[in-house]
Amino acid sequence: MKFKSLFFLFLLFTAAILITNQSPKRQTATAQANDQLIYMPVINSGYDTDLIISSLEITQAVQKADNSVPLVGSKPTIVRVYAQTIAGTPPSGVKVSLTAARNNTLLGTITSTAKIVPKNPQRSDYSSTFNLQLPDSWLSGTVEITATVDVENIVLEYKGNNNYNATLVFNSVPPLDVKIVPINYTHNPTGAFFPGQQQDRISDYLKRTYPVPSVNVSFRGAYNFQGDLRNGNDWVQLLYDVTDLKQTDNAPNSQVYYGLVPIENGATQWFFGGIAGIGWVGWRASVALNLSQSSSGPLAAHEIGHNFGRNHAPCGNPAGVDASYPYAGASIGEYGVDVLNGQLLLPSQYVDMMSYCSPEWVSDYTYQALYNDQLVSGKVLSQARVDGLMIRVRMDEDGRPVLQPVYALTHTPFVGDVSDEYAVELLDVTGEVVGRYPLFTVLAEEEGVSARMWGVSVPMPDVALGGVRVVAGKTAVSERVFTPAAFYTTATPVLKDTADSLVLSWPFSAPTLVRYTIDDGQTWITYALAAEGELVIEKENLPAENGRFQLIPADTTHATLTLDYNN
């Protein structure tokens, strides 16, 4: 509270004291008495202005009026100060300050630019509030802040209740880790080749809309894919491939594998509309087009949103709509703020990024769900890799499960919802069941295309296997027969080194997974998921360091072949 105390004292001690005799004199025998009333003047200060701070809104992308959307540590933060004039004429040239402390230690003070203090600041009017971006050093732990309006005391007020206190809690959330997989795409209808691009057009938008402190983007070596991505089935196959790459590269479950498909090579272009991407709901792998800077970010936010467990918001007639989405027409519901660009985003104009409409931003509903998922699934677990059978089941065009080649290797385990339809059984060489395991499943849906995947990571069995089968109840629906390891272990792979490429060959035709390590198997880069007898690897796609190739034939155990390479 501010007091203009010196001014008041001056008026008080310089005012005339009016003394008026209110009754006639009376004579008495002993004394003379005077009844007197003493009048003090009522001094009007002349102050008819009063300023207050009615509330604060602390936002990092979207916020509710009660500030219940959680704050993320180290994420850029805006405080909207709702200072208002509640009496008198709104004064101009007024500044607002924020002072912060953590554990009773002063962090500092920041001050806004000068402006008019309005009578009625509105959430819908960004210019009606004092908007201050917090320093990076304030964005962790529990921080006590005090907001003060008219910090320079330029306004004469008759009350001057100018402070507002708030406690901010910044939560520790793991960074978002994205591995971009450039796709070398051969477009079958024309035979045109579109080389994969190591371009990051997605992290800026993800930083602005996702509840994470940062977005770490890295690039994997390019992956070769041939097909027709105007067709939904080929999109599904590419999604399957990128999923397999994540598992066989030994990537952590917390990392998003993001297949990036080029649409042009010089003046040649293959994409003129249609499917732009697809991602698993609840498993961190997606594929999408490498569009313009303005379009790639929202597309990535949508597909990675699926990876975080989000279904579609109800606008644009998508499949797989989230029945619990709280706002009609996929409105973002609350006011968004693009903190890095200082822009207010109105719920009457912006829709949630999980819809098919635009312009898009993130709703508080989606933001909270992304936050919850990243707290759990964003952690890198040291026990993420398993040494065992990587069992994968795909859905064919008729919706039936088909068991894929089974590989015995160290890999990232698949996670998802437990399937109530299918399980997997291991058979010994006599056909007896020696193990039964539930399958996990995830779904992907976009307009005109859907995919389902089942999978499980099974510990390496102690007995020789004769096969693996998928069962519905007690009925086998898909099966693969195993080959004894001795058939492969006597084989010798051959590596031919040319000027621009390596030609790797081996004397059997079974589907073979080929991968390369430079850190003794801690991480891998997979070059082929089901090669048959030969593989050509461009040297530009090889790491510069010396390493080791691993050739793993399908449908067998203990038959891995290795080959050292000095690059």
Identify which of 285, 283, 305, 298 has the alpha carbon closest to the alpha carbon of residue 220.
Answer: 285
Model confidence at 470: pLDDT above 60? yes
pLDDT for 544: 79
Q: Residue 567: which pLDDT band, with cuts at 50, 70 and 90?
A: confident
Model confidence over 29-59: pLDDT tens digits? 344 445 566 555 544 445 689 999 999 999 9
Model confidence over 419-437: pLDDT tens digits? 999 999 999 999 999 999 9
pLDDT for 383: 57
Distance CA 204, CA 207 (A): 5
pLDDT for 16: 34
Model confidence over 133-167: pLDDT tens digits? 999 999 999 999 999 999 999 999 877 789 999 99
CA 391, chain centre distance (Å):
29
pLDDT for 55: 97
Instruction: Identify the residue whose tokens are 């160290």.
Output: 410
Q: Residue 1: which pLDDT band, with cuts at 50, 70 and 90?
A: very low
Model confidence over 293-314: pLDDT tens digits? 999 999 999 999 999 999 999 9
Model confidence at 257: pLDDT above 90? yes
Model confidence over 518-541: pLDDT tens digits? 999 989 999 999 999 999 999 988
Q: Residue 355: which pLDDT band, with cuts at 50, 70 and 90?
A: very high
In the predicted model, what is the mean pLDDT of residues 230-248? 97
Question: Of the CATH numbers 3.30.2090.10, 2.40.50.100, 3.90.180.10, 2.60.40.10, which one belongs to the domain with range 486-565?
Answer: 2.60.40.10
pLDDT for 11: 38
On the question of a common fold for 50-171 and 486-565, the answer reads yes
| 486 or 28: which leads in pLDDT | 486
Helix or strand or coil: residue 345?
A: strand
Q: Tell me if 120 sits within 8 A of 84, measured CB to CB.
A: yes
pLDDT for 39: 54
Which two structure tokens, joined as six digits, stand for 39? 């009048």
pLDDT for 159: 75
pLDDT for 545: 82
Q: Are strands 96-102 and 192-194 parallel, antiparallel or unpaired?
A: unpaired
Query: Cis before residue 359, ω within 30 degrees of 0?
Result: yes
Q: Residue 336: which pLDDT band, with cuts at 50, 70 and 90?
A: very high
323 CB burial (10 A radius; 0-12, 13-18, 19+): exposed
Model confidence at 20: pLDDT above 60? no
Which class in CATH covers the domain with range 50-171?
mainly beta
In the predicted model, what is the mean pLDDT of residues 286-299? 97
Q: Tell me if 157 sits within 8 A of 52, measured CB to CB.
A: no
- What would the 3-class secondary structure string for 428-489 be? ECCCCEEEEEEEEEEEEEECCEEEEEEEEEEECCCCCEEEEEEEECCEEEEEEECCCCHHHH
Model confidence at 200: pLDDT above 80? yes
Distance CA 95, CA 108 (A): 16
Q: By percentage, how much of the chain surpasses pLDDT 90?
A: 86
What is the number of other CB atoms lying within 10 angstroms of the CB of residue 93? 12
Domain boundaries, the chain: 5-39, 50-171, 176-327+372-377, 386-481, 486-565
pLDDT for 44: 45
Phi, psi of 182 (to 5 degrees): -65, 135
In the predicted model, what is the mean pLDDT of residues 170-192? 98
Identify which of 561, 506, 511 has the alpha carbon closest to the alpha carbon of residue 533.
Answer: 506
Q: Tell me if 198 sits within 8 A of 57, measured CB to CB.
A: no
pLDDT for 94: 97
In the predicted model, what is the mean pLDDT of residues 438-442? 97
pLDDT for 35: 57
Mean pLDDT, the chain, whole residue set: 91
Q: Tell me if 324 sits within 8 A of 369, measured CB to CB.
A: no
Who's near 538: CB < 8 A, 6+ residues apart?
A: 500, 501
Look at 32-46, 239-253, 502-516 and tell me which has the smallest mean pLDDT: 32-46
pLDDT for 229: 98
pLDDT for 46: 52
Model confidence over 70-84: pLDDT tens digits? 999 999 999 999 999
Helix or strand or coil: residue 515?
A: strand
Q: Edge-to-edge, what's the strand order for the sheet holding 335-338?
A: 62-63, 335-338, 343-345
Q: Are strands 256-261 and 343-345 parallel, antiparallel or unpaired?
A: unpaired
Domain 176-327+372-377 part of CATH 3.40.390: yes
pTM of the model: 0.90
pLDDT for 550: 97
In the predicted model, what is the mean pLDDT of residues 159-178? 94
Model confidence at 14: pLDDT above 50? no
pLDDT for 36: 60
Distance CA 348, CA 68 (A): 21
Q: By percentage, how much of the chain surpasses pLDDT 70?
A: 91
Distance CA 73, CA 69 (A): 13
